Amino acid sequence: MNTCSLRLLTLQDVDALRAIEKRNFSAPWSGRQLQESLSQHQGLGMVTPSGTLFGYAFFLLVFQEAQLLNLVIDQPWQRQGYGRILLHEVITQASAQGAECLLLEVRISNEAALGLYRSAHFQPIGTRRGYYATPTGTREDALVLRRSLTP
Protein backbone atom coordinates (compact mmCIF):
# COMPACT_ATOMS: atom_id res chain seq x y z
CA MET A 1 0.00 0.00 0.00
CA ASN A 2 1.37 3.39 -0.99
CA THR A 3 1.58 6.20 1.51
CA CYS A 4 -1.64 8.12 1.12
CA SER A 5 -3.35 10.70 3.26
CA LEU A 6 -6.76 11.96 4.27
CA ARG A 7 -7.96 15.52 3.93
CA LEU A 8 -11.19 17.48 4.10
CA LEU A 9 -13.08 17.77 0.83
CA THR A 10 -13.77 21.18 -0.72
CA LEU A 11 -15.91 22.53 -3.56
CA GLN A 12 -12.83 22.33 -5.77
CA ASP A 13 -13.14 18.52 -5.56
CA VAL A 14 -16.55 18.31 -7.29
CA ASP A 15 -15.20 17.30 -10.71
CA ALA A 16 -12.98 14.57 -9.25
CA LEU A 17 -15.83 13.34 -7.02
CA ARG A 18 -18.20 13.24 -9.98
CA ALA A 19 -15.70 11.21 -12.04
CA ILE A 20 -15.28 8.70 -9.19
CA GLU A 21 -19.07 8.47 -8.81
CA LYS A 22 -19.54 7.74 -12.53
CA ARG A 23 -16.89 5.01 -12.50
CA ASN A 24 -18.22 3.26 -9.41
CA PHE A 25 -22.01 3.62 -9.21
CA SER A 26 -24.86 2.68 -11.53
CA ALA A 27 -26.80 5.69 -10.18
CA PRO A 28 -24.08 8.26 -9.42
CA TRP A 29 -24.69 11.44 -7.47
CA SER A 30 -25.02 14.52 -9.67
CA GLY A 31 -22.65 17.46 -9.50
CA ARG A 32 -25.35 19.39 -7.68
CA GLN A 33 -25.83 16.62 -5.10
CA LEU A 34 -22.09 16.56 -4.52
CA GLN A 35 -21.96 20.35 -4.12
CA GLU A 36 -24.83 20.21 -1.62
CA SER A 37 -23.11 17.42 0.29
CA LEU A 38 -19.90 19.44 0.43
CA SER A 39 -21.73 22.44 1.85
CA GLN A 40 -24.01 20.56 4.25
CA HIS A 41 -22.09 17.48 5.38
CA GLN A 42 -18.63 16.46 6.43
CA GLY A 43 -16.48 15.04 3.66
CA LEU A 44 -13.16 13.25 3.87
CA GLY A 45 -10.99 12.51 0.86
CA MET A 46 -8.28 9.88 0.38
CA VAL A 47 -5.45 11.25 -1.76
CA THR A 48 -2.22 9.94 -3.26
CA PRO A 49 1.12 11.58 -2.40
CA SER A 50 0.75 13.62 -5.62
CA GLY A 51 -2.68 14.86 -4.50
CA THR A 52 -4.93 12.72 -6.70
CA LEU A 53 -8.28 12.10 -5.02
CA PHE A 54 -9.20 8.40 -5.22
CA GLY A 55 -11.70 7.87 -2.44
CA TYR A 56 -14.05 9.74 -0.18
CA ALA A 57 -16.74 9.56 2.46
CA PHE A 58 -19.58 11.87 3.42
CA PHE A 59 -21.20 11.72 6.82
CA LEU A 60 -23.46 13.87 8.93
CA LEU A 61 -24.09 14.17 12.63
CA VAL A 62 -27.56 14.77 14.07
CA PHE A 63 -27.44 14.99 17.84
CA GLN A 64 -25.72 11.78 18.99
CA GLU A 65 -26.28 9.85 15.77
CA ALA A 66 -23.93 9.85 12.77
CA GLN A 67 -25.04 8.76 9.32
CA LEU A 68 -22.56 7.55 6.70
CA LEU A 69 -24.01 8.86 3.43
CA ASN A 70 -21.42 7.57 0.99
CA LEU A 71 -18.05 5.85 1.07
CA VAL A 72 -16.20 4.88 -2.09
CA ILE A 73 -12.70 3.97 -3.14
CA ASP A 74 -12.10 4.28 -6.89
CA GLN A 75 -11.65 0.98 -8.76
CA PRO A 76 -7.86 0.93 -9.25
CA TRP A 77 -7.36 1.34 -5.49
CA GLN A 78 -10.06 -1.04 -4.24
CA ARG A 79 -9.27 -4.08 -2.07
CA GLN A 80 -6.03 -2.59 -0.78
CA GLY A 81 -7.21 -1.50 2.68
CA TYR A 82 -8.04 2.12 1.83
CA GLY A 83 -11.75 1.69 2.51
CA ARG A 84 -10.94 0.37 5.97
CA ILE A 85 -8.69 3.39 6.65
CA LEU A 86 -11.35 5.82 5.46
CA LEU A 87 -14.10 4.11 7.46
CA HIS A 88 -11.91 4.13 10.58
CA GLU A 89 -11.40 7.89 10.19
CA VAL A 90 -15.15 8.48 9.82
CA ILE A 91 -15.74 6.45 13.00
CA THR A 92 -13.00 8.36 14.82
CA GLN A 93 -14.30 11.79 13.77
CA ALA A 94 -17.96 10.97 14.45
CA SER A 95 -17.08 9.64 17.90
CA ALA A 96 -14.92 12.69 18.68
CA GLN A 97 -17.88 14.91 17.76
CA GLY A 98 -20.15 13.14 20.24
CA ALA A 99 -21.86 10.51 18.11
CA GLU A 100 -22.97 7.46 20.04
CA CYS A 101 -23.64 5.36 16.94
CA LEU A 102 -23.01 5.31 13.20
CA LEU A 103 -25.72 4.20 10.76
CA LEU A 104 -25.53 3.40 7.05
CA GLU A 105 -27.35 1.70 4.21
CA VAL A 106 -25.66 -0.74 1.84
CA ARG A 107 -26.91 -2.67 -1.20
CA ILE A 108 -27.67 -6.24 -0.24
CA SER A 109 -25.64 -7.37 -3.27
CA ASN A 110 -22.51 -5.38 -2.31
CA GLU A 111 -20.54 -8.22 -0.71
CA ALA A 112 -17.27 -6.26 -0.56
CA ALA A 113 -18.87 -3.40 1.38
CA LEU A 114 -20.79 -5.80 3.62
CA GLY A 115 -17.53 -7.55 4.47
CA LEU A 116 -15.87 -4.23 5.30
CA TYR A 117 -18.72 -3.13 7.55
CA ARG A 118 -18.98 -6.51 9.30
CA SER A 119 -15.25 -6.44 10.02
CA ALA A 120 -15.76 -2.97 11.56
CA HIS A 121 -18.43 -4.38 13.92
CA PHE A 122 -21.54 -3.04 12.20
CA GLN A 123 -24.72 -4.99 12.93
CA PRO A 124 -27.82 -5.29 10.73
CA ILE A 125 -30.87 -3.54 12.18
CA GLY A 126 -33.29 -3.50 9.26
CA THR A 127 -33.97 -3.49 5.54
CA ARG A 128 -35.14 -0.69 3.25
CA ARG A 129 -37.14 -2.32 0.45
CA GLY A 130 -36.41 -1.01 -3.04
CA TYR A 131 -33.99 1.62 -1.73
CA TYR A 132 -31.52 1.58 -4.64
CA ALA A 133 -32.18 1.98 -8.36
CA THR A 134 -30.53 -0.53 -10.69
CA PRO A 135 -29.36 -0.04 -14.31
CA THR A 136 -32.26 -2.22 -15.49
CA GLY A 137 -34.87 0.05 -13.89
CA THR A 138 -35.68 -2.30 -11.04
CA ARG A 139 -35.05 -1.58 -7.37
CA GLU A 140 -32.70 -3.27 -4.90
CA ASP A 141 -33.04 -3.53 -1.14
CA ALA A 142 -30.64 -1.89 1.28
CA LEU A 143 -29.48 -3.42 4.51
CA VAL A 144 -29.42 -0.89 7.36
CA LEU A 145 -26.35 -1.33 9.56
CA ARG A 146 -25.48 0.21 12.91
CA ARG A 147 -22.32 0.41 14.94
CA SER A 148 -22.17 1.63 18.51
CA LEU A 149 -19.47 4.22 19.12
CA THR A 150 -19.68 4.10 22.91
CA PRO A 151 -17.95 1.54 25.13
Residues serving a catalytic function are 105, 117
User: Which residues lie below 8 Å from residue 25, measured CB to CB, with a gap of 6+?
Assistant: 72
What is the Cα–Cα distance from 91 to 68, expressed in whole angstroms? 9
Selection from 31, 48, 40 nearest residue 67 by Cα = 40
What is the Cα–Cα distance from 25 to 8, expressed in whole angstroms? 22
β-strand pairing of 101-107 with 65-73: parallel
Selection from 106, 101, 91, 94 nearest residue 144 by Cα = 106
Residue 16 backbone dihedrals phi, psi, to 5 degrees: -65, -40
